[in-house]
Structure 1
């Protein structure tokens, strides 16, 4: 997996690029304070954690506005820290969020910029992580994570050179950790990864076994150590030890070191610190321990912190003259990691991930896998137009953005940013179409097709549909356009008629389009008959098209079976909708309510919304539909397209009723005849698939306290259940939470509306309304179901998931152009093989583009498509002439052949994501 071999004809020219690599042992080693081998070395790491939106918007946090909500002003933090670093060369500071630093940097004078560069070159100011934000790990798609990391790291490279390149990934606040993130970080060249949150039972176990520092083997497909990443779990989350917080927001007493004062406290401070340090050392393996000295939005007045830290270091180290074996020093994560590497120990090996995360017995942070599901189609799907995605999309990957764990006004701000970015992107797309086609007619983008609204297609008799396909393989895609006529003629670019039908249930014109790889084509639509629609067709309970057979129970109107006609497979399949009664915190076991973060149902048995569904049937040559109504606030369309191998379930849920004063967490559940024996499978950030088992954790003996929430996992693009014969795969159109609570069953949470805050900081219930939906949000989404033999299932569901993320883009012209202007276009000479995905193709500078190709199949996942693939780059593009290729690491901030990382040794018995190519163009 993540392998690609490049066959290049001609010379590879590296003379036009800047060398970005910096060797181990250079600036980092020189800037690290000397440690003492015969002592316990305590590495104090001054830091601030600056959320790119949470309780306040990004702008409010940067400027320090709305301090009535939360006192925080990032610009003052950076001002103050730089000032204090200049006063003492021993001091250190790390900074993480490039989105904020970029803003601050642009506002500085040239002399201040030179000063900061000196601090970076000397290692006194160190960047860690370095992405535009600290992304969420549960609900993000890998493509968006790579892009936001590249955006931040490129700025640091361009601004500070090699000394600004982060060596450590730093995810101290996300609520659980994905294996795919560790794999990406390893392939971006990081030496290590530190985080603060993990399950409370996991932490207890690791403290006993001294396994809070480990080696994470983050891919089943890459040859070790390509995806191996040293991982450290911080001792206090990301806060300072208790009693040692000296920020203006803290209440701990300062160090009072005048012996003439009655409240002199140096001895007390030193003794308490030594107790904490020695206690921490008992649960870590080396004579080096790390302490985070900072927290949320701290160091706005950095003098408070540094004045006390200077004293702490001085007075604790003074005790060495009296026999103390504790040495305290200013440090950074990379300096600490360097010491661990020098220890040359073996480390426990981890192969799974850190989901789900619980901080107490009844406090599982699995609700945010689905919180704010209406936001996911905006932030989770890829448009392949980087102008739109860059800053707006990067900010949206933050762990309090796409996660849905922000205040409502902040969620509105994220949506506004994305909408504004999309408007600018539409202009770019239109200009690109115009340049390729020679037609400068106005194009329109119907942004409300998810609610079947597009005014031009509803009022015009003739229009042209332009279909852009961002994938590097041809696609067939169903187009659904709202119309008012009863009959239309559709023809392709060659004038050939295309089979189409009007669905009269909601007056939609339906037809299939075929788009070339990385290109576009056009379809013309003309009204041929107007007037009232005919009556609906009668109900039948068996639906058969080319590949699938679907049956419905005639008494209940529910799905009853699914058959694959090609493979002659058939399973019993029942699907329905349920809701969990969200805990209000008022029960005997715990006072923890459900909220934006926490999923905690009052009962393990959900309420069924309806045992029967009112149905209406639509059968045409293009599509067969069964429209189901379960309640005034729950409906669904079951669709079977003529040439599709997947059954589509388009669900509409909301507004969730709360007049009974009960919070509701709505799921759909698929009950099958598949024998699963507690196992099921979910993807990790849209990439590799991990095996899950109900009530089980691979690395410790689980004591299960929440039988539903404790078995929920993130589903970013697909999940499946299987036995030896059958595999049922569900492809989602957004990130959602789900699990297999009963054998043969798979449930997915669709929507949440809650009446209480879960006391994790956001300070308001997840009760979304808007001016358009004052009674609560209505959310519409879709699931794709496929039935295959387990050995062949990946060949279908991986491309299906890829196409769901990178859906074709539709644009419309409302004055038909000349025929010469409607010719199709493909940016490729030929489609890429099924195993290869073109992840990135973007302008890098005036002479080159950045290309990422990925082998998207997991090792041993497919007999055919898991094999290595050769791609000839010189014969790939139709409009680009390749003069040379230089291979970079995944984040495109180092040359691949110059990238070196620390080697780590796993304990015995414990068990290429795509690179970037910078292509020089003629």
Structure 2
């Protein structure tokens, strides 16, 4: 104890001395001019961060030192259990190196940056006496956190951007292999000691919705396939089969007897049946967000673990229309070792085949080592069907698809049908097939050949099982017994194939002690967009097709994530308190009922990530089925949120009695129809009454921002939970362009929301004469191109007829508009950018095969939408101002918010699009600027990372279109312009300075890719964007200047702003059922700026019986927590953020001080593999770009 005290004295003295030195250095710095040179900026940020850390250390050092011995002992014990699949990036440092993430108030500038002067204020903005003042905060960034962005990863052997630059994309006729060449081989390359090993892998690709609904497919086809599988595979141990879609498998499993289930387990144990990938679906890879990808993968993996005890090892993605490197990363971190892909541009396939690079180690472009590398096999030919898998000649391979035997009703397009294998044709047919196997092997670096045997919904009939397996077994027996052929052919699974590949690659490289696969298979970086299957048929249309439903899935993602976090907080709080609520078990029933809703919502979201779901490429009635599931799940998640919020705000949680059929709060928006936008709920209050709103912040960061609530009276007062009056702005609600409602009004006010919190604000309805003008402002309405609209008397409305441009601005930015209501320029952080916004339209090629659900085939360059002098409605106020322009097919609104948060750092755009009266019409929004980006632009991959794109004149417009799941930007040496998107769409930069995004498309015809219809079910669709203008802190040449041209990362500001779009705050309006609630609840801590809480998810236990009924999804006393450390570019400031970075150091005990037990276990990403044991007090060291999952105990 004396030693501890002495250490504390020494430590305290050292801290005091260091603090004095740092203060001297701070005082010696030059004056702050709001835009420091990079060196000084980094020094200042460093000093600020270090001062704050020292203050924290002074407060906490005794606690920290007292923990060191026990924590070190625990760390030593747990580190030995780390699973190798987690990789070296899963680091933990000793607890005494913890750096607290200290936050400051809105008026405490983190980086000593005061609010800048307002640029070129427009006279029209001086509309109200209410004054709003605040200081602008900035994120405090540690210098070490900039190293990642300044360090170039070593180049891979194959860099796809360089491959694209090199290829001619000329598509010559290759003969039998139309998109390749005539393959030749020397039969002498094989011998008795070097045989060709062939693995024929039977499979059936089952789409969970496409031309039929999920349930229709199951009833008509899928359940027959699985029934037959259980009967046919045990007949011969040499028979094999793989299965991917757990959504179908779980439905079938629920209907089986225990005897059948045991038979399936035996097939798995014997290696005859392999579950590949293990996701709920085979997800699309262009439009999906990585959050939803994780949801669908975790749902499948959790089911497999609970029911089969299976951990998938091999990925199988044969039908998504283009491939993302994000999927390779996720699979790698989930513990899978290999993967197979199919749909890749035919020219890229040909190049990789020429170079024998069709099997490669897929590495993330930002990986400085090799920990993210995943062995990937790319199928070389046109399709995954049988004609295109045995070898390069489809007319020969089709003859070995025994589902097409004469009389079967299915034929070969080449008019050469298969023949039943008999003694008289066995030798000839075997040699004909072997020739294809040998030719295919010439495209790979090993003597192991993968031959998928299947197609969509194959093996439905028992006869097909017999025809395929019996005929192939005769061929295999002949090939294997003729030693002079030097071949071993057999049925196999992916596990069998990759096991042989690894064995041979190890042998070829000289054994286990050598470089192994690194010497055999090349490394590769990049993604495989945009996909073309032939000619100029680029599959870039589906990036946008049915945008209403693409938006709907993002809405559900936000609600599901928010519901999961709040539900977990509820059940963890109950466990921590040592109670499940009332003594009669009411809360157990509530928890089980809410968990059932969460599981159903997980599965609805997961189902829609299917590559014919979110893509918009299903038939109309299937889309309706998907949409109904999404809407129902949104409603369920809203119910979970309000139920959990009611419990967490309860004054007496020990004796709390909840009822799932009671509506305590109404969420601020309501979804009722599968094809309609949500209605905004109105808080109806009588004069002299008030209501306590609850604002839920699902983000693990504090959010100061504006919030808008719709109320029934314009005479209001807003009060925060500390009983302080909050300034607010009241605006009219327009029911049509010329008329505002008399009983609906939008009230906007500034909220300050702690991380992961529920915060109350009170809205009072007051007498008109008692409205406090110092705290309440009423929007001023200005019309252009139309008469002044009819508005309630509390507002003023004027008609502006001068035809001049006008501006909207706050203290940080200014947007200038033409008299037509479209933006002309944008000023932010001292930089002014010419920015002319326009809308453009594309037609379609007048060819036999033209644009449809999948294909974007424009007839020519886009033509601008005629604008003229449209009706323009402007609402001006001190907190926010909007410009709404009414054009043909679109209502376009731009909002500028006066907020200290990230919502005030850019302009918000909302487009209401309806093109249902058009024909073959593709509609886009285009930003034209003076940024000199040349032919380079950037788009995100699945919201997880950003990829560099290059526009090529050698490629058509549709080939230069890429998916924009959430973010795109253009930049030059001085400036970056980012477009943040709340929904996935397609887009491009088709000229220097341009950035465009497709908003909707209506196609009158099928594009001959199997759907059999056009896209004619367009509905009124809302799309929301934020536009950020960010000047670089410096243009000075640096050692890393070359890196800035070759790779790119988003700014902290854009990442934070994007999260507010994808995971917004939720407003809970109280009903009469709310009594005795607390004014706030919060988890207790926040994460560093660059660490995102991806999800906090309660796990499920196996089904169990309770009180005579089966509980299908009982909640476990365990949760999974996934964190993402974001990579960001330090060369842009971070205004509006109230957090700091900590070099990736996170202590869970600071984030969850009272929730969860002390023991924590590191896990693989989908919770299949266990890693390091630790406690909440350990300091985690998270590496940039990496995802981490931890298992938390509720007790």
Give the TM-score taking structure 1 as reference length: 0.87
1:46 paired residue among 202, 218, 232: 202
Would the aligned equivalents of 1:192 and 1:230 in 2 still touch at CA under 8 Å? yes
> How much does 1:887 deviate?
0.7
Work out which of the residue numbers 680, 688, 692 in structure 1 matches 2:945: 688
Residue equivalent to 1:75: 223
* 1:584-611 C-alpha deviation (Å, 9 max, x unpaired): xx34xxx321111111111123342425
* Structure (1 or 2) with the greater helix fraction: 2
CA offsets per residue over residues 421-441 of structure 1, 9 Å max, x none?
A: 233323322221121112777
Asked if 2 retains the 8 angstrom alpha-carbon contact of 1:791 and 1:861, the reply is yes
The answer on whether the counterparts of 2:402 and 2:420 sit within 8 Å (CA) in structure 1 is no
In the TM superposition, what is the alpha-carbon distance from 1:14 to its structure 2 partner? 13
Determine which of 192, 199, 207 is the counterpart of 2:345: 199
- Quick one: distance in 1 between partners of 2:1033 and 2:242? 48
Distance 2:198 2:205 in 1: 21
Once the two structures are superposed, residues 94-127 of structure 1 have per-residue CA deviations (whole angstroms, 9 ceiling, x without a partner) of 0000111111111111111111111101111111
Give the SS at the match of 1:511: strand
Deviations 1:664-683 (A, max 9, x none): 11100000010001110111
Q: Distance in 1 between matches of 2:1141 and 2:691?
A: 43
Q: 1:835 to 1:20 in 2, by over 3 A?
A: closer
1: CA distance, partners of 2:641 / 2:77: 33
- Per-residue Cα deviation, 1:23-66 (whole angstroms, up to 9, x for no partner): 99xxxxxxxxxx975221111000011111111111111111xx
Q: Does 1:762 align with 2:1011?
A: yes
The CA deviation at 1:255 is: 4.3
Q: Is 1:642 the equivalent of 2:802?
A: no
- Secondary structure of the 1:47 match is strand
Which of 438, 448, 455 aligns to 1:288? It is: 448
Residue 918 (str. 1) matches residue 1191 (str. 2): yes
Rate the CA distance shift 1:862–1:243 in 2: closer, same or farther, 3 A. Answer: farther
Partner of 2:809: 544
Provide the rounded CA distance (Å) in 2 between the counterparts of 1:223 and 1:136: 28
1:504/1:533 contact within 8 Å kept: no
User: Deviation digits for residues 749-808 of structure 1, max 9, x if unmatched?
Assistant: 01111111111111111111xxxxxxx411112110111124696020011112211111
Q: Give the alignment partner of residue 744 of structure 1, picking from 976, 984, 993.
A: 993
- 1:55 aligned partner: 211
Q: How does 1:468-617 map to 2 (within 5 A)?
A: 468-504=696-732, 506=734, 507-528=745-766, 531-532=792-793, 534-537=795-798, 541-554=806-819, 556-564=820-828, 567-583=829-845, 586-587=846-847, 591-610=848-867, 612-617=869-874
Query: Rg larger in 1 or in 2?
Result: 2
In structure 1, the residue matched to 2:787 is none
Q: Tell me: CA distance 1:80–1:23, structure 2 relative to 1, closer, same or farther (3 Å).
A: farther
Equivalences for residues 136-147 of structure 1 within 5 A: 136-147=284-295
CA distance in 1, matches of 2:935, 2:308: 51
Structure 1 residues 341, 781: closer, same or farther in 2, change over 3 A?
same
Q: 1:791-810 alignment to 2 at 5 Å? A: 794-810=1051-1067
CA contact (8 A) 2:936 2:949 kept: yes
Whether the aligned pair in 1 keeps the contact of 2:1125 and 2:1187 (CA below 8 Å) is yes
Paired with 1:826 and 1:165, the residues of 2 have a C-alpha distance of 36
When structure 1 is superposed on structure 2, of 207-216 and 483-492 the one drifting more is 483-492
Which residue number in structure 1 is paired with residue 394 of structure 2? none
| 1:458-497 Cα shifts (integer Å, max 9, x gaps) | 6766443221111101113433344453332222222322
Instruction: Check 1:681–1:316 CA distance in 2 against 1; reply closer, same or farther (3 A cut).
Output: same
For residues 598-643 of structure 1, the C-alpha deviation after alignment (integer angstroms, 9 at most, x for no partner) is 1111112334242554322211111011111222x21211110002
Structure 1 residue matching 2:261: 3-state secondary structure: helix
Match of 1:453 among 664, 667, 679: 679
Once the two structures are superposed, what CA deviation does each residue of 1:491-512 show, in whole Å capped at 9, x if it has no partner?
Answer: 2222322222232252433333
**8 Å CA contact retained: 1:753, 1:766:** yes
Query: What CA distance in whole angstroms lies between the structure 1 residues aligned with 2:272 and 2:1098?
Result: 34
Aligned to 1:836: 1091
CA distance in 2, matches of 1:861, 1:131: 39
Q: Determine whether 1:362 maps to 2:574.
A: no
Paired residue for 1:187?
333
CA–CA separation in structure 1 for the residues paired with 2:239 and 2:677: 56
Partners of 1:218 and 1:229 within 8 A in 2: no
Alignment of 1:737-886 (within 5 A): 737-768=986-1017, 776-790=1018-1032, 794-815=1051-1072, 821-827=1077-1083, 829-844=1084-1099, 846-858=1116-1128, 868-886=1143-1161
* Residue 733 of structure 1 pairs with residue 982 of structure 2: yes
Cα distance in 2 between the residues matched to 1:125 and 1:113:
13
Indicate the larger mover: 621-630 or 536-545: 536-545
Encode CA deviations 1:188-235: one digit per residue, 9 max, x unaligned.
111111111100111121222222111211240x44322111111124
**Whole-angstrom distance in 2 between the partners of 1:304 and 1:850:** 43
1:903 aligned partner: none
C-alpha change, 1:607 and 1:268, in structure 2 (3 Å) is farther
Q: CA deviation at 1:156?
A: 1.0
Superposed counterparts of 1:324-339, under 5 Å = 324-339=485-500
Once the two structures are TM-superposed, the CA of residue 862 in structure 1 deviates from its matched residue by 7.4
Task: Pick one of 558, 571, 577 that aligns with 1:382.
Answer: 558
Any idea what SS the aligned residue of 2:548 has?
coil
Structure 1 position 151 matched with structure 2 position 299: yes
Change (3 A) 1:459 1:497: closer
Mapped contact 1:48–1:295 kept (Cα < 8 A): yes
SS in 1 for 2:249: helix
Taking structure 1 as reference, are residues 23 and 842 closer, same or farther at Cα in structure 2, changes over 3 Å only? closer
Report the Cα distance in structure 2 between the residues aligned to 1:285 and 1:867, rounded to whole angstroms.
Answer: 45
Q: Which residue of 2 aligns with 1:678?
A: 935
Shift of 1:354: 0.2
User: Could you list the per-position Cα deviations for residues 404-423 of structure 1 after superposition, in whole angstroms to 9, with x for gaps in the alignment?
Assistant: 11111111111111222233
Long gaps (5+) in structure 1: 1-5, 25-34, 65-72, 697-702, 769-775, 899-911
1:717-728 → structure 2 map (5 Å cutoff) = 717-728=966-977
Q: Is the 8 A contact 2:670 2:681 kept in 1?
A: no
2:378 corresponds to 1:214: no
CA distance in 2, matches of 1:326, 1:614: 75
Contact 2:844 2:850 in 1 (8 A): yes
Which residue of 628, 642, 648 corresponds with 1:436?
Answer: 648
Closer, same or farther: CA 115–452 of 1 in aligned 2, 3 Å: closer
Contact 1:715/1:737 (8 A) holds in 2: yes
Partner Cα distance (2:679, 2:372) in 1: 46
Change (3 A) 1:568 1:455: closer
Seen in structure 2, the aligned counterparts of structure 1 residues 867 and 466 have a Cα distance that, compared at 3 Å, is: closer
* Bigger mean CA deviation after superposition, 433-442 or 329-338: 433-442
- Conserved in 2, the CA contact under 8 Å of 1:844 and 1:918? no
Q: C-alpha separation between the residues in 2 aligned to 1:853 and 1:559? A: 38
Contact persistence 1:452–1:482 (CA under 8 A): no
Alignment match, 2:233: 85
Partner of 1:665: 922
Q: Does the 8 A contact of 1:688 with 1:858 survive in 2? A: no
Structure 1, residues 875-920: CA drift from partner, whole Å, max 9, x if none?
Answer: 321431432111111111112369xxxxxxxxxxxxx632211122
Q: Check conservation: 2:928, 2:993, Cα contact below 8 A.
A: yes
Query: 1:276 is matched with which residue?
Result: 436
The answer to whether the 8 Å contact 1:48/1:298 transfers is: yes
CA distance in 1, matches of 2:467, 2:677: 58
- Residue 178 of structure 1: aligned partner: 324
Of residues 420, 423, 428, the one that matches 1:256 is 420
Q: Deviation at 1:843?
A: 1.9
1:402 alignment partner, SS class: coil
* Distance across 2 between alignment mates of 1:447 and 1:668: 27
